Amino acid sequence: MTYVSKELIDKALALSTNQRVALVERLLESLDAPNPEINEIWAKESDARVLAYENKQVNSKPVSEVLKKYK
């Protein structure tokens, strides 16, 4: 883990609960930035899976059958 200054941590911990929640939300949002390259790869994969399903190249089960496994 990289070093984070004690001063920064102390300042963050001194914030109110609402301010800390807002800070955490903003930090998490910054980690979930869109990646066009990955989005394009997943779009192609999704299209390929739908096409395979429509052409009956993959087996499928009703969702009710799948969910029975987890009850």
pLDDT tens digit string along 10-41? 999 999 999 999 999 999 988 888 889 999 99
Give the three-class secondary structure for 37: helix
Give the three-class secondary structure for 11: helix
Paired tokens of 63: 């969702």
pLDDT at residue number 1: 52
The whole-angstrom separation of Cα 39 and Cα 33 is 11
Paired tokens of 51: 């096409």
The whole-angstrom separation of Cα 21 and Cα 26 is 9
What percent of the chain clears pLDDT 90, i.e. is strictly above it? 75
The answer to whether residue 2 scores a pLDDT higher than 80 is no
